Amino acid sequence: MKRKVDIDHIRNMLQKHVTESIIGCDKVLLAFSGGLDSTVLLNILQSLRDANNFPLSLRAIHINHGLSSYSDFWVQHCEQQCKQRAIPFTLVKVNINNIPDGIEAAARNARYIELYKALLPGEVLLTAQHQDDQAETLLLALKRGSGPSGLSAMSADTSFGCSRLLRPLLNFSKLQLAEYANNLGLSWIEDDSNNNDRFDRNFLRRRILIPLQQRWPQFSKSVTRSAQLCAEQENLINELLKETLSKIILPNGALTLTPLLSMSNIRRSALLRRWLASQGARMPSRKQLNSIWQDVALSRCTAAPKFLIGDKQLRRFRDNLYLISVKILAKLESEVLLWPMSKKKLILPQDIGLLVKTLSNTTNFSLLPKNSIIVNKSVSFIRAPQPNEHISVRFGKLDGSINIIGKSYSQKLKTIWQQLAVPPWQRGRQPMIFYNQKLITVPGMFVTIDGKITTDCAALHVLWLKKYSINK
């Protein structure tokens, strides 16, 4: 029996739902592949933009992965569709090289990186995933043995860096979108790779989901409801654990371990997962999470365990867990940065931050901190250099011993780092300021005797503005 289609109802529902989804967003960027789903969304957004009572700044972006022989044709099609609608069009080409998790995952990761980079201030990103995509995502999560978080599948409104990612079509099936597009005579492309069952999503869509929908026409709708219920449960758990999590995460992003020791395995695992998520880590499996706790968290205090999670490394230092980006482990010992007095600011390598110096001719010590070490967080107050002294910034190890203000004896730099509780992997990233060959200060850490302010010299105020997230 042929299905009776109420196209007016579908059109009205689509426009109403998209309108409600983007209320409060006057600038949107649409991820436009040129396929059926994003073409429908492009058409709806155009109609909203052209409505007199709906101010909307609309742009479209196409990511060319270069994986198909038809890629150039798709680019031309997308550009033409946007030109017909007077929608600004951006093309970004990406190269898919590293594919340890498969080409699908690599393409998706590369795509979202470029989409984030393309966002303008105040813009939100729109993608066109629909109800059947949601069903595929949940089935893939089941295959991986995911918990409630994974089974929540895709959210209709989620944070995306400093912006938001909206998916306004999640409540509509592909059939409904096709009916809308055919009724309006829209033109779209078909990705030839969609017929290749080598890809997990295609296999699910062609071999599993279609028979399920033929047997139970409301299957995708029911799956979407299940995903929403899982999301609600996950949000409830987040709410219940929020206060505890805020108490065990330190200002620098590290996780303090002591409170976790007395908790149940279930509660501890839930907190560990949420901490990892807050630090941008890839979610570990249950087996990996157990290894993190047993092999890293419960390791001896003298041990230096490491656990790799994607492009991040989990480390323990004293009673804290740290998640650090692998890129910060690169050696900086050969770096020597010259910093002339005429230059107020100095950008440090590898996202370490920015140094700022301010010269003060005053000798009024009441303006300085009442601290024998003359250090205030990431600020050091030191003497200004003499005309024959040149300022440089260096990193890494230091031979011999040094005398710092507040200590009556000299110490090795390694000993000072231990006393200041600086983790081993961060020690080589501390900017050491030298006058010629004399170490003067590490801003916010210590000032040496050679950097002490006296009554016959000007003072220099040195500030280290660092990114306070340890996984950056």
Binding-site annotation, residues: 33-38
Distance CA 217, CA 257 (A): 49
Nearest alpha-carbon partner for 204 in 272, 116, 132, 295: 132
Three-state DSSP class for residue 322: strand
User: Rounded to whole angstroms, how far apart are CA atoms 419 and 416?
Assistant: 5
Report yes or no: 66 and 72 within 8 Å, Cβ to Cβ: no
What Å distances lie between residue 233 and 202, 222, 271, 358, 413, CA to CA? 29, 17, 15, 52, 50
Cα three-residue angle 73-74-79, rounded to 5 degrees = 100
With H, G, I as helix, E, B as strand and everything else as coil, classify residue 158.
strand
Which residue positions form the known binding site for ATP? 33-38
Secondary structure class of 464 (helix, strand, coil): strand
The DSSP annotation for 414-440 comes to HHHHHHTT--HHHHTTSPEEEETTEEE
CB 377 within 8 A of CB 444: yes
With b meaning 16 or more CB within 10 Å and e meaning fewer, what string describes 119-154? beeebbbbbbbbbbbbbbbbbebeeeebbbbbbbbb
